């Protein structure tokens, strides 16, 4: 979940966020010791899966490691433009095929060794190693080819591109790993088992603003300031200002909110129904905190039908479901049956907007505002079904071959919100005029993910994906070969003409160097996904952030924190 | 303990109907006011379960999406000249703020409540202009109708559960007590193993393996079966003790001397002598089943949405923020409380009647 919102270099699956709750408690917000000591207490909803920045697939590990490892280039979360990281500057050759990065001379690993061009080259070699499974690679392949890099000196990296590649500066946000420690391990073929969560934290050698100092499974992660960090503020004072983080691992969203109210957490992302509660408590002086509306969710949440033929063919039989789920008329009828207004009022307490495109309106450059939503209209849906040959027989909707329409709907457990959205959806599909049957099955998030991208054993799923600033970072979702191309992942070649078209647009959009000229490609991709209903969008939430009054210069944005190194606690 | 008399069976049969009539009226006279109220509550709740469509005002799964978390509505008595429209009326409520879920009454027109109309005890003309006696839930479903339909699950779970537990407990207990020896030993050790399991965790574990795709009715039966499986051992042990003491009674020995088969002696002599206790124990164990189902449903492992049960209706009240803002979602808890208390009072009363030696 998002305690502090962050951006991933590739898309990551997320469970629909669980709603948390509050009690009418009188909060005595005395200054806590951890605030005096400049230690920020935040929270994670689950344990990290790895401490190896290359192997990260989950949000929590990414959140921890982005403080421990610095990227070559980082993205400014306020302007969404690339800005210097380990590389203090870069220049692009006139033919746009060579990019030269100049590294800072004062970046050091925690063990005192300098971070050099060799580390960057090593990191690239690991990412391109087919034996190392990682989600960074798809974004760094240009027409399926790797970027060739060399290092003329210790602090210069030159990347040679097969052809111009606009998203490079976003894709180059790779976290660099220390060659002097990991190269021998990688050469011995043990990289995939290195720096797991059981590694003693002192052995995790990074170069970021914080060191990992303690991890107790199911309890907390502790980070301590790296006193040798390269970043200084405008007065030449050492950054970061906070001395550390303690991230409590709290799986229960209810408990998380109560802990925030009782002063055990310093920052919090309230869910819609808590926003009002927090606002009231602040007004009544019972909570000394800030509440800010920071924008619209950058991710997406949707219903998706499984179109993977491998799931449906068994002993020479093809399940009729495959035919329904690839039938645009069926999907259109379903899209017209999603009562977004009800979901916004009932589930989101009015703090959301209908989602039309898979790109968030927060992505001002690439968001396509011209898509027309499928309005909630059960009558129209019934008409569409009738004219496509899906008739009512004995009160049940049957397909043209006479099979009654019935499918399983899965989502992750533990979220009353997802339960409610699915209850509304189920009710509309089972309404007597539509006559479908939906079997609702909430599953544990890990089980759900395993089914969706592992065993492909699912019919319809309601879940979410994180968003990205550059659409190319969504390659693993858009491209037919992507592992998060949910409805039919890892295709050897595109199964349908429109998927082939999206692949082509992705290729061409990445080559166009002028940002404004790239826009039409991605608008067209959004249009195709919208027309083909590969995923049926639901709603997008307004995002709020709340933090304690003593925390200064805390600047949350929908993409993540802006200048996190600058924030500190003001103690009186 | 009531001793089955060795009388002419024909005489006994003839005496039954008159005695039963007399005794029912007599029982009512003998019962205290508490017991009468309890019996009344239970009768009402079982009627809810038996004829839910009549008692409910609306379809329990109909979502009125413009009225989530609507508070219970106020009733007004019509002036006599309006009685042709309806005896009672209420102001329609409209949600004024989606974020805070506040409602304002629209005083420009009235919603009349009709009794015995459309096969319902009381209802309004349309589901979109409803009268919510007990408010609505977060999806805009009528809480009162859901409680009425929820009685089907919550009231039946006790009966079905007790039926299974007691058939098992009585048969196994009597057999074990009467036969004795190795059979007794094996059965009792097995029941001890079962009794030593921490029952709620065991219940959770078993509920978790129910396959997710099955229908509401099958799920209900499975949950009852699971709870019965846990509950029979305690009863079997007590019955076994009673049976082994009955075993040496003269009439049992007489039956044995006359060549009665084991099965006949168990069914004709042993079981009738323990049945009085069993009925009392059964009544007192029904609340356990009701609470067990509520707990499972509350945790999402029991009856699944949208089928209502008193337990899963309460799950919305697990959220303290909801509870503070919409306190009426706690009402299903009152129904559970009333049922449990009623069964306890009734059970106590039955024990006094069947087993006067234990009377306080």
8 Å CB contact of B138 and A277: no
Q: Which residue has the higher pLDDT, A245 or A4?
A: A245
Q: What is the dihedral of CA A293, A295, A301, A302, to 10 degrees?
A: 120
Q: Which residues of A touch B98 (CB under 8 A)?
A: 344-345, 349-350
| Per-residue pLDDT at B296 exceeds 70 | yes
Q: Minimal Cα–Cα distance from A197 to chain B, Å?
A: 29
How many whole angstroms separate alpha carbon A497 and alpha carbon B356?
85
> Looking at residue B233, what is its pLDDT?
84
> Looking at residue A6, what is its pLDDT?
36
**What tokens appear for A61 in the block?**
């590990």
Answer whether A433 touches B (CB < 8 Å): no
8 Å CB contact of B100 and A413: no
% of residues, chain A, pLDDT over 70: 93
8 Å CB contact of A345 and B98: yes
Average pLDDT across chain B, whole number: 83
How many whole angstroms separate alpha carbon B147 and alpha carbon B131?
15
% of residues, chain B, pLDDT over 70: 92
Q: Which residues of B touch A439 (CB under 8 A)?
A: 212-213
Task: Give the strand pairing for A539-548 and A267-268.
Answer: antiparallel
Confidence of residue B11 (pLDDT cuts 50, 70, 90): very low
CA B151, B156, B157, B162 dihedral sign is positive
Answer whether A369 touches B (CB < 8 Å): no
| Residue range B26-56, pLDDT digits in tens | 777 878 889 999 999 999 999 999 999 999 9
Task: Pick the residue from chain A with its C-alpha nearest to B214.
Answer: A439
| Residue range A314-367, pLDDT digits in tens | 777 888 999 999 999 999 999 999 999 999 988 998 899 999 999 999 998 899
Contacts of B299 (CB under 8 A, 6+ apart): B204, B315
CA atoms within 13 A on the CB side of A484: 21
Task: Pick the residue from chain A with its C-alpha nearest to B323.
Answer: A23
| Per-residue pLDDT at B8 exceeds 50 | no
Extract long-range pairs of A396-401: CB within 8 Å, 24+ residues apart: A396/A435, A396/A437, A397/A434, A397/A435, A397/A436, A399/A320, A399/A323, A399/A324, A401/A320
Task: Give the strand pairing for A73-75 and A82-84.
Answer: antiparallel
8 Å CB contact of B68 and A339: no
8 Å CB contact of A427 and B300: no
> Looking at residue A29, what is its pLDDT?
40
B69, B101 contact by CB (below 8 A): yes
Q: Which residue is it, tokens 């089955």?
A: B4
Contacts of A526 (CB under 8 A, 6+ apart): A357, A358, A359, A367, A368, A371
8 Å CB contact of B63 and A427: yes
> Looking at residue B253, what is its pLDDT?
87
| Per-residue pLDDT at A14 exceeds 70 | no
How many whole angstroms separate alpha carbon A436 and alpha carbon A398?
8
How many whole angstroms separate alpha carbon A567 and alpha carbon A144?
41
| Residue range A510-565, pLDDT digits in tens | 888 888 899 999 999 999 999 999 999 999 999 999 999 999 999 999 988 999 99
How much of chain B is helix, strand and coil, in % rounded to 5?
A: 65, 10, 30
8 Å CB contact of B99 and A272: yes
Q: In angstroms, what CA-CA distances link B339 with A150, B203, B284, B344?
A: 78, 22, 11, 9
Q: Which residue is it, tokens 């004829």?
A: B51
Buried b (16+ CB within 10 A) or exposed e, A35-63: beebbbbbbbbbbbbbbbbbbbbbbbbbb
| Per-residue pLDDT at B128 exceeds 90 | no
Give the mean pLDDT of A421-448. Answer: 88
Give which of A322, A422, A338, A418 is closest to A374, Cα–Cα: A338
| Residue range A465-487, pLDDT digits in tens | 888 888 888 888 898 888 788 89
How many whole angstroms separate alpha carbon A483 and alpha carbon A475?
9
Residue A351 is nearest to which of B65, B99, B324, comparing CB atoms?
B99
8 Å CB contact of A441 and B213: yes
Q: In angstroms, what CA-CA distances link A302 with A356, A452, A529, A537, B192?
A: 10, 14, 12, 4, 51
Beta bridge partners of A317: A314
Q: Minimal Cα–Cα distance from A297 to chain B, Å?
A: 18
**N-term to C-term CA, chain A:** 32
| Residue range B190-219, pLDDT digits in tens | 888 888 888 778 777 777 777 766 777 788
> Looking at residue B6, what is its pLDDT?
44
> Looking at residue A7, what is its pLDDT?
38
| Residue range A94-116, pLDDT digits in tens | 988 999 999 999 999 999 999 99
**What tokens appear for B112 in the block?**
């009349």
Q: Minimal Cα–Cα distance from A245 to chain B, Å?
A: 29
Average pLDDT across chain A, whole number: 87
Residue B139 is nearest to which of A344, A351, A420, comparing CB atoms?
A420
How many whole angstroms separate alpha carbon B231 and alpha carbon B223?
12
Peptide bond into B117 cis (omega under 30): no
Q: Minimal Cα–Cα distance from A347 to chain B, Å?
A: 8
> Looking at residue A268, what is its pLDDT?
94
Give the mean pLDDT of A156-167. Answer: 90
> Looking at residue A4, what is its pLDDT?
33
Beta bridge partners of A318: A313
A506, A478 contact by CB (below 8 A): yes
> What are the backbone angles phi and psi of residue A356, rounded to the nearest 5°?
-115, -50
How many whole angstroms separate alpha carbon A193 and alpha carbon A190?
6
> Looking at residue A199, what is its pLDDT?
93
């Amino acid at each position: 979940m998002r305690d502090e919102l962050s951006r991933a270099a590739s898309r990551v699956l997320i469970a629909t966020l669980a709603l948390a709750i509050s009690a009418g408690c009188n909060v005595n917000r005395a200054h806590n010791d951890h605030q005096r000591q400049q230690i920020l207490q935040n929270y994670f909803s689950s344990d990290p899966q790895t401490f190896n920045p290359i192997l990260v697939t989950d949000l929590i590990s990414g959140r921890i490691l982005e403080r421990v490892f610095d990227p070559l280039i980082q993205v400014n979360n306020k302007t969404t433009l690339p800005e210097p990281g380990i590389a203090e500057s870069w220049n692009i050759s006139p033919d746009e095929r060579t990019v030269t990065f100049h590294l800072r001379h004062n970046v050091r690993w925690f063990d005192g060794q300098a971070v050099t061009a060799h580390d960057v080259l090593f990191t690239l070699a690991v990412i391109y190693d087919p034996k190392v499974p990682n989600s960074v690679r798809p974004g760094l392949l240009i027409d399926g080819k790797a970027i060739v890099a060399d290092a003329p000196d210790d602090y210069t990296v030159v990347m040679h591109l097969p052809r111009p590649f606009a998203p490079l500066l976003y894709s180059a946000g790779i976290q660099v790993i220390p060659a002097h420690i990991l190269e021998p391990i990688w050469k011995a073929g043990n990289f995939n088992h290195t720096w797991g969560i059981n590694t003693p934290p002192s052995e995790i050698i990074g170069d970021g603003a914080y060191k990992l100092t303690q991890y107790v499974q199911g309890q907390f992660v502790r980070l301590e300031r790296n006193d040798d960090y390269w970043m200084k503020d405008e007065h030449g004072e050492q950054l970061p200002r906070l001395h550390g983080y303690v991230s409590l691992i709290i799986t229960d969203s209810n408990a998380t909110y109560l802990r925030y109210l009782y002063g055990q957490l310093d920052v919090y992302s309230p869910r819609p129904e808590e926003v009002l509660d927090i606002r009231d408590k602040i007004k009544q002086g019972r909570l000394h905190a800030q509440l800010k509306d920071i924008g619209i969710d950058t991710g997406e949440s949707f219903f998706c039908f499984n179109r993977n033929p491998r799931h449906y063919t068994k002993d020479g039989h093809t399940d009729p479901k495959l035919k329904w789920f690839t039938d645009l008329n069926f999907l259109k009828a379903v899209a017209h049956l999603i009562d977004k207004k009800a979901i916004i009022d009932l589930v989101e307490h009015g703090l959301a907007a209908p989602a039309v495109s898979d790109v968030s309106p927060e992505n001002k450059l690439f968001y396509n505002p011209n898509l027309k939503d499928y309005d909630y209209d059960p009558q129209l849906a019934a008409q569409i079904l009738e004219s496509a040959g899906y008739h009512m027989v004995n009160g049940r909707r049957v397909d043209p071959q006479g099979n009654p329409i019935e499918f399983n709907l899965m989502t992750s457990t533990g979220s009353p919100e997802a339960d409610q959205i699915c209850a509304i959806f189920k009710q509309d599909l089972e309404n007597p005029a539509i006559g479908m049957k939906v079997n609702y099955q909430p599953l544990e998030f890990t089980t759900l993910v395993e089914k969706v991208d592992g065993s492909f054993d699912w019919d319809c799923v309601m879940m979410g994906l994180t968003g990205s600033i550059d659409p190319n970072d969504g390659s693993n979702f858009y491209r037919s070969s992507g592992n998060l191309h949910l409805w039919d992942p890892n295709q050897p070649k595109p199964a349908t003409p429109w998927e082939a078209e999206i692949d082509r647009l992705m290729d061409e959009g990445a080559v166009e160097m002028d940002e404004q000229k790239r826009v039409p490609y991605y608008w067209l991709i959004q249009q195709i996904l919208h027309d083909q209903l590969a995923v049926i969008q639901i709603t997008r939430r307004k995002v709020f952030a709340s933090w304690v009054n003593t925390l200064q210069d805390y600047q949350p944005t929908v993409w993540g924190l802006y200048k996190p190194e600058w924030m500190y606690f003001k103690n009186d | 303990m009531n001793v089955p008399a060795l009388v002419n069976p024909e005489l006994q049969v003839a005496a039954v109907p008159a005695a039963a009539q007399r005794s029912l009226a007599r029982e009512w006279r003998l019962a205290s006011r508490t017991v009468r109220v309890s019996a009344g509550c239970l009768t009402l709740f079982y009627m809810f379960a038996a004829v839910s469509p009549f008692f409910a005002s609306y379809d329990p799964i109909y979502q009125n999406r413009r009225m989530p978390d609507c508070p219970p509505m106020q009733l007004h008595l019509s002036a006599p000249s309006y009685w042709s429209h309806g005896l009672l009326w209420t102001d329609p409520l409209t949600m004024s703020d989606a974020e805070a879920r506040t409602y304002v009454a629209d005083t420009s027109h009235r919603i009349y409540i009709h009794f015995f109309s459309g096969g319902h005890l009381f209802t309004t003309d349309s589901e979109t202009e409803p009268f919510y006696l007990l408010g609505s839930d977060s999806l805009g479903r009528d809480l009162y109708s859901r409680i009425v339909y929820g009685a089907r699950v919550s009231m039946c779970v006790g009966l079905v559960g007790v039926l299974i537990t007691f058939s098992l407990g009585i048969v196994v207990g009597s057999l074990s007590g009467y036969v004795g020896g190795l059979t007794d030993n094996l059965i009792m050790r097995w029941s001890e193993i079962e009794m030593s399991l921490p029952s709620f965790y065991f219940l959770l574990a078993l509920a978790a393996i129910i396959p997710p795709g099955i229908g509401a009715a099958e799920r209900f039966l499975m949950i009852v079966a699971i709870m019965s499986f846990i509950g029979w051992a305690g009863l079997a042990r007590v019955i076994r003790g009673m049976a082994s003491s009955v075993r040496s009674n003269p009439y049992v020995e007489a039956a044995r001397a006359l060549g009665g088969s084991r099965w006949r002696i168990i069914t004709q002599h042993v079981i009738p002598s323990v049945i009085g206790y069993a009925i009392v124990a059964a009544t007192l164990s029904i609340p356990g089943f009701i609470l067990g189902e509520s707990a499972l449903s509350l945790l999402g492992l029991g009856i699944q949405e949208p089928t209502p049960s008193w337990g899963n209706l309460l799950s919305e009240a697990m959220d303290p923020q909801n509870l503070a803002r919409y306190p009426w979602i706690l009402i299903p808890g009152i129904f559970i409380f009333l049922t449990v208390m009623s069964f306890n009072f009734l059970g106590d009363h039955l024990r006094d009647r069947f087993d006067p030696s234990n009377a306080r």
